[in-house]
Amino acid sequence: MRIKLMIVAVIVLFTACKQERKESDSIQTSSEKVTEVTKTFGINTYNYDGLAPLINKKGDKTYIVNFWATWCKPCVDELPYFEKINQEYKDKNVEVLLVSLDFPNEVEKELLPFLKDHNITSEVVLFDDPNQNEWINKINPTWSGSLPATIIYNKNSRKFYEKPFEYEELESELNQFLN
Protein backbone atom coordinates (compact mmCIF):
# COMPACT_ATOMS: atom_id res chain seq x y z
CA MET A 1 0.00 0.00 0.00
CA ARG A 2 2.79 2.41 0.94
CA ILE A 3 4.62 1.73 -2.34
CA LYS A 4 1.42 2.39 -4.34
CA LEU A 5 1.00 5.75 -2.58
CA MET A 6 4.60 6.68 -3.34
CA ILE A 7 4.16 5.74 -7.02
CA VAL A 8 0.95 7.79 -7.26
CA ALA A 9 2.69 10.76 -5.59
CA VAL A 10 5.61 10.56 -8.03
CA ILE A 11 3.25 10.38 -11.02
CA VAL A 12 1.24 13.37 -9.78
CA LEU A 13 4.40 15.36 -9.08
CA PHE A 14 5.89 14.52 -12.48
CA THR A 15 2.67 15.43 -14.30
CA ALA A 16 2.38 18.75 -12.44
CA CYS A 17 6.01 19.69 -13.19
CA LYS A 18 5.58 18.74 -16.82
CA GLN A 19 2.46 20.89 -17.11
CA GLU A 20 4.16 23.86 -15.42
CA ARG A 21 7.07 23.51 -17.79
CA LYS A 22 4.77 23.53 -20.82
CA GLU A 23 3.10 26.70 -19.53
CA SER A 24 6.44 28.41 -18.87
CA ASP A 25 7.73 27.31 -22.28
CA SER A 26 4.78 28.99 -23.96
CA ILE A 27 5.29 32.10 -21.84
CA GLN A 28 8.97 32.18 -22.79
CA THR A 29 8.12 31.80 -26.47
CA SER A 30 5.52 34.53 -26.15
CA SER A 31 7.99 36.79 -24.29
CA GLU A 32 10.63 36.35 -26.96
CA LYS A 33 8.15 37.54 -29.58
CA VAL A 34 7.41 40.67 -27.53
CA THR A 35 11.07 41.66 -27.03
CA GLU A 36 11.27 40.05 -23.61
CA VAL A 37 8.39 41.90 -21.99
CA THR A 38 6.29 40.37 -19.26
CA LYS A 39 3.83 41.79 -16.77
CA THR A 40 4.59 41.51 -13.08
CA PHE A 41 1.54 42.60 -11.10
CA GLY A 42 0.56 45.04 -13.84
CA ILE A 43 4.02 46.54 -14.37
CA ASN A 44 5.88 45.89 -17.60
CA THR A 45 9.05 43.96 -16.87
CA TYR A 46 11.94 44.12 -19.32
CA ASN A 47 15.33 42.59 -19.82
CA TYR A 48 17.92 44.77 -21.61
CA ASP A 49 16.68 43.89 -25.10
CA GLY A 50 13.19 44.98 -24.14
CA LEU A 51 14.36 48.10 -22.32
CA ALA A 52 16.76 49.30 -25.02
CA PRO A 53 14.06 50.82 -27.27
CA LEU A 54 12.63 52.72 -24.29
CA ILE A 55 15.95 54.35 -23.42
CA ASN A 56 16.96 55.08 -27.02
CA LYS A 57 13.88 56.73 -28.52
CA LYS A 58 14.34 58.86 -31.61
CA GLY A 59 11.30 61.13 -31.23
CA ASP A 60 11.07 64.89 -30.93
CA LYS A 61 10.78 64.80 -27.13
CA THR A 62 13.39 65.14 -24.45
CA TYR A 63 13.53 61.98 -22.38
CA ILE A 64 14.55 61.53 -18.76
CA VAL A 65 15.24 57.96 -17.67
CA ASN A 66 15.93 57.39 -13.99
CA PHE A 67 17.29 54.07 -12.71
CA TRP A 68 16.24 53.62 -9.10
CA ALA A 69 15.00 51.17 -6.45
CA THR A 70 12.82 51.39 -3.36
CA TRP A 71 15.73 50.07 -1.24
CA CYS A 72 18.02 52.93 -2.39
CA LYS A 73 17.64 55.93 -0.05
CA PRO A 74 19.17 58.52 -2.42
CA CYS A 75 16.84 57.21 -5.15
CA VAL A 76 13.78 57.58 -2.94
CA ASP A 77 14.92 61.04 -1.83
CA GLU A 78 15.18 62.33 -5.41
CA LEU A 79 12.07 60.64 -6.80
CA PRO A 80 9.77 63.59 -5.98
CA TYR A 81 11.96 65.76 -8.23
CA PHE A 82 11.35 63.49 -11.20
CA GLU A 83 7.64 63.53 -10.41
CA LYS A 84 7.67 67.33 -10.28
CA ILE A 85 9.54 67.50 -13.61
CA ASN A 86 7.02 65.07 -15.08
CA GLN A 87 4.14 67.33 -14.03
CA GLU A 88 5.71 70.71 -14.82
CA TYR A 89 7.27 69.76 -18.16
CA LYS A 90 4.64 67.40 -19.53
CA ASP A 91 3.40 70.11 -21.91
CA LYS A 92 6.96 70.99 -22.94
CA ASN A 93 7.57 67.72 -24.76
CA VAL A 94 9.40 66.01 -21.87
CA GLU A 95 8.84 62.36 -21.01
CA VAL A 96 9.94 60.76 -17.71
CA LEU A 97 10.55 57.02 -17.35
CA LEU A 98 11.35 55.49 -13.96
CA VAL A 99 13.20 52.19 -14.34
CA SER A 100 12.92 50.22 -11.12
CA LEU A 101 15.70 47.80 -10.28
CA ASP A 102 13.72 46.34 -7.40
CA PHE A 103 13.81 42.58 -7.06
CA PRO A 104 11.01 40.93 -9.07
CA ASN A 105 9.96 38.83 -6.07
CA GLU A 106 9.50 42.07 -4.08
CA VAL A 107 7.20 43.83 -6.56
CA GLU A 108 3.94 43.04 -4.82
CA LYS A 109 5.29 43.55 -1.30
CA GLU A 110 7.56 46.59 -1.85
CA LEU A 111 7.33 48.30 -5.24
CA LEU A 112 3.56 48.48 -5.79
CA PRO A 113 2.79 49.77 -2.27
CA PHE A 114 5.61 52.30 -2.63
CA LEU A 115 4.21 53.61 -5.92
CA LYS A 116 0.74 53.88 -4.43
CA ASP A 117 1.87 55.46 -1.13
CA HIS A 118 3.97 58.06 -2.96
CA ASN A 119 1.36 58.69 -5.66
CA ILE A 120 3.85 58.09 -8.49
CA THR A 121 2.32 59.15 -11.80
CA SER A 122 5.37 58.88 -14.07
CA GLU A 123 5.67 55.75 -16.16
CA VAL A 124 7.37 52.99 -14.16
CA VAL A 125 8.86 49.80 -15.58
CA LEU A 126 10.66 46.98 -13.80
CA PHE A 127 14.07 46.03 -15.11
CA ASP A 128 15.00 42.39 -14.60
CA ASP A 129 18.15 41.24 -16.33
CA PRO A 130 20.78 39.22 -14.46
CA ASN A 131 23.57 40.00 -16.98
CA GLN A 132 24.83 43.18 -15.28
CA ASN A 133 28.26 42.85 -16.87
CA GLU A 134 26.62 43.29 -20.28
CA TRP A 135 23.78 45.76 -19.81
CA ILE A 136 25.51 48.23 -17.48
CA ASN A 137 28.13 48.90 -20.16
CA LYS A 138 25.46 49.09 -22.88
CA ILE A 139 23.52 51.71 -20.95
CA ASN A 140 26.68 53.73 -20.40
CA PRO A 141 30.32 52.57 -20.49
CA THR A 142 31.22 54.85 -17.55
CA TRP A 143 28.46 53.51 -15.27
CA SER A 144 29.72 51.58 -12.25
CA GLY A 145 26.22 50.18 -11.72
CA SER A 146 25.44 52.20 -8.61
CA LEU A 147 22.10 53.88 -8.09
CA PRO A 148 20.65 56.34 -8.69
CA ALA A 149 21.57 56.88 -12.31
CA THR A 150 19.86 59.06 -14.88
CA ILE A 151 19.95 59.59 -18.62
CA ILE A 152 18.66 62.79 -20.21
CA TYR A 153 18.57 62.76 -23.98
CA ASN A 154 16.90 63.94 -27.14
CA LYS A 155 17.69 63.52 -30.82
CA ASN A 156 20.56 66.04 -30.55
CA SER A 157 22.28 65.16 -27.30
CA ARG A 158 22.60 62.55 -24.54
CA LYS A 159 24.05 62.82 -21.06
CA PHE A 160 24.49 60.22 -18.31
CA TYR A 161 24.55 61.03 -14.59
CA GLU A 162 25.59 58.58 -11.89
CA LYS A 163 24.47 60.62 -8.89
CA PRO A 164 21.44 61.81 -6.99
CA PHE A 165 19.86 65.12 -7.94
CA GLU A 166 18.39 68.07 -6.11
CA TYR A 167 15.43 69.57 -7.96
CA GLU A 168 17.16 72.76 -9.12
CA GLU A 169 20.09 70.81 -10.53
CA LEU A 170 17.81 68.34 -12.35
CA GLU A 171 15.78 71.18 -13.81
CA SER A 172 18.96 73.01 -14.87
CA GLU A 173 20.29 69.91 -16.64
CA LEU A 174 16.95 69.36 -18.35
CA ASN A 175 16.82 72.97 -19.54
CA GLN A 176 20.14 72.53 -21.33
CA PHE A 177 18.36 70.01 -23.55
CA LEU A 178 15.34 72.24 -24.10
CA ASN A 179 17.19 75.41 -25.13
Task: Please check whether residue 29 lies inside any domain of the structure.
Answer: yes
Domain count, the chain: 2
Q: Tell me, yes or no, whether 53 and 26 share the same domain.
A: no
Q: Tell me, yes or no, whether 125 and 154 share the same domain.
A: yes
The predicted structure's pLDDT at residue 179? 77
Q: Tell me, yes or no, whether 100 and 29 share the same domain.
A: no
Pairing of strands 158-161, 94-100: unpaired
Task: Please check whether residue 17 lies inside any domain of the structure.
Answer: yes
Decide if 159 contacts 151 (C-beta within 8 A): yes
Q: Tell me, yes or no, whether 72 and 158 share the same domain.
A: yes
Task: Please check whether residue 38 lies inside any domain of the structure.
Answer: no
Task: Please check whether residue 122 lies inside any domain of the structure.
Answer: yes
For 82-137, write each residue's pLDDT tens digit: 999 999 999 999 999 999 999 999 999 999 999 999 999 999 999 999 999 899 99
Name residue 126's beta-bridge partners: 45, 100
Q: Tell me, yes or no, whether 25 and 108 share the same domain.
A: no
Q: Tell me, yes or no, whether 125 and 53 share the same domain.
A: yes
The predicted structure's pLDDT at residue 36? 54
Chain-centroid distance of CA 28 in Å reads 19
Q: Tell me, yes or no, whether 28 and 53 share the same domain.
A: no
Torsion angle of the four alpha carbons 120, 116, 119, 110, in this order, in degrees rounded to the nearest 10: -50
Q: Tell me, yes or no, whether 88 and 137 share the same domain.
A: yes
Q: Tell me, yes or no, whether 53 and 107 share the same domain.
A: yes
- If one compares 167 and 21, the residue with the highest pLDDT of the two is 167
Decide if 153 contacts 62 (C-beta within 8 A): yes
Q: Tell me, yes or no, whether 58 and 109 share the same domain.
A: yes
**What pLDDT band is residue 41 in, cutting at 50, 70 and 90?**
low
Going by the DSSP 8-state scheme, the letter that residue 126 receives in this structure is E
Overall residue count recorded for the chain in this entry: 179
Task: Please check whether residue 40 lies inside any domain of the structure.
Answer: no
Element (H, E) at 161: strand 158-161
Decide if 82 contacts 64 (C-beta within 8 A): yes
Q: Tell me, yes or no, whether 26 and 114 share the same domain.
A: no
Supply the range of the domain harboring residue 73: 48-178
Q: Can you give the CATH number for the domain in which 123 is found?
A: 3.40.30.10
